[in-house]
Amino acid sequence: MSYLELAGLQKRYGNAVAVDDVSLSVEQGESVALLGPSGCGKTTTLRMLAGLVAPDRGAISLDGGDITRLPPHRRNMGYVFQSYALFPHLTVARNIAFGLEERGVPRQEIARRVDEALALVRLAGLGQRRPKELSGGQQQRVALARALVIRPSVLLLDESLSNLDAKLRDAMRHEIRSIQRSLGITTLFVTHDQVEALTMCDRIAVMHRGRIAQIGNAEDIYDRPATRFVAEFVGRANVLPIQRDAQGRTSVWGQPLPLEAPEDGDLFVRPQRMRIAPVSEPAGESAARLTGRVLRSVFVGDHVEVLVEGGGGQLTVETPSGTTIPMEGAEVAVVWPRAESRVFAREAP
């Protein structure tokens, strides 16, 4: 049994199922992201873990004990809200001390642990300020310190970086990740931002319509998406309709391309896995190939995006800057390893 186990969790609101049969095992010290679009049930799952929402079905266990019905304060979980939820009238130090005071920790120890927590989030010396006298990033750190000071068994972060500007968010990602690692603290992280999930977590659970569509590490999710939804939600993909003739032979853009495909399917290939080749270059054994015409090339700093058109469709090839970029209008081949082809059935609208 893992340190933290969610088994068959379900939560309904009226007729709507917010979370539908979510099971997840998290090891001690592991950081797991719940990633998915708005409304997929991430926050409800996190709130069930924290004890803020009671599940209709299923169970949660922590370190071998059943905590499904325990009130929030007896679960020893640190929760960082999206809005930080700091008390504006209290100093930073008192905000951080709050959970320890509630637990009746002696005053001297509180003072020592608050100082430790302030140092950990690099806010030493700012304990006497009020939250409004801090920047957004600093307030974020206070919220983190407040969650960590109780030495939680599990740290829960709910979209906690989404109020920060892009640069600060990036810095905080690395900072939280390194604190999480150095403390070895088991963490669940809710986000709709895939970069956040990919950079901050050991594993990612991609959620869709109240369920976990796939769980795995960044490479699993990105290179081996289990469902069409995951392939579309995480990273960019070229989606090319597959045609099948009466004999079951498949083609794309009207060009023969052998694929294992259902009746109505699309081919998914990541733009970075494709490369542009001269039309005269013969296709290798293990390569898939289409030909088309270059519509345009866009320089995006570290790479160039080449838009290729053929057979009424378009695709994008992402190639490193510095490689030879074909002229607009040139006839080219687009080549990729067969193993990089993913096929998913078309979904009913």
Residue type, 143: A
> Is 211 or 244 the residue whose CB approaches ligand ATP more closely?
211
41 binds ligand ATP (CB under 6 A): yes
d(CA 118, CA 123): 5
Least separation, in Å, of the C-beta of 180 and ligand ATP?
Answer: 21
Q: Assess 208 for contact with ligand ATP (CB under 6 A).
A: no
SS3 category, 59: strand
Assess 138 for contact with ligand ATP (CB under 6 A). no
Contact between 15 and ligand ATP by CB under 6 A: the answer reads no
- Check binding of 83 to ligand ATP (CB under 6 A): no
Contact 25, 2 (CB under 8 A): yes
**Half-sphere exposure of 349 toward its Cβ, with a 13 Å CA cutoff?**
0
Task: Give the nearest distance from C-beta 317 to ligand ATP in angstroms.
Answer: 32
185 touches ligand ATP by CB under 6 A: no
Residue 43 found at the interface with ligand ATP (CB under 6 A):
yes
Residue with tokens 């403390």: 183
Which of 55/265 has CB closer to ligand ATP? 55
Give the shortest CB-143-to-ligand ATP separation in angstroms: 17
Sole binder of ligand ATP in the list 8, 13, 28, 255 (CB under 6 A): 13
- Find the binder of ligand ATP among 18, 123, 176, 261 (CB under 6 A): 18
Q: Where does this chain touch ligand ATP (CB under 6 A) — which range of 10-18, 84-92, 220-228, 267-275?
A: 10-18
Helices marked H in 91-217: 92-102, 107-120, 136-148, 166-183, 194-200
Name the one range near ligand ATP by CB under 6 A: 11-19, 61-69, 106-114, 227-235. Answer: 11-19
CA distance 93 to 115: 8
Question: How many whole angstroms separate alpha carbon 194 and alpha carbon 181?
Answer: 20
Options 38-46, 71-79, 122-130, 170-178: segment touching ligand ATP (CB under 6 A): 38-46
- DSSP annotation of 195 reads H
Q: Is 137 in the site for ligand ATP (CB under 6 A)?
A: no
36 belongs to the binding site for ligand ATP (CB under 6 A)? yes
Min dist CB 173 to ligand ATP, Å, is 18
Comparing CB distances to ligand ATP, the nearer of 118 and 198 is 198
Question: Which two tokens mark 278?
Answer: 């001269």
Alpha-carbon distance 109 to 66, whole Å? 30
Q: Residue 173 or residue 275: which is nearer to ligand ATP going by CB?
A: 173
Q: Which amino acid is at 335?
A: V
Instruction: Give, in order, the Cα–Cα distances in Å from 109 to each of 97, 104, 147, 150, 227.
Output: 10, 10, 17, 12, 51
Judged by CB under 6 A, the stretch of 35-43, 71-79, 87-95, 285-293 that binds ligand ATP is 35-43
Q: Which residues contact residue 83 at a Cβ distance below 8 angstroms, ignoring those fewer than 6 apart? A: 163
Type and span of the H or E element at 223: helix 218-223
Q: What is the dihedral of CA 68, 73, 75, 80, to 10 degrees?
A: 110
* Residue 39 engages ligand ATP in binding (rule: CB under 6 A): yes
Least distance between ligand ATP and beta carbon 171 (Å)? 23
CB closer to ligand ATP, 48 vs 306: 48
Task: Answer yes or no: are the C-beta atoms of 283 and 336 closer than 8 Å.
Answer: no
| 40 part of the interface to ligand ATP, by CB under 6 A | yes
CB of 84 to ligand ATP, least distance (A): 16
Strand order in the sheet with 211-216: 77-80, 154-158, 186-191, 31-35, 203-208, 211-216
Rg (CA), the chain: 25
Residues near ligand ATP (CB under 6 A): 13, 16, 18, 36, 38-44, 192
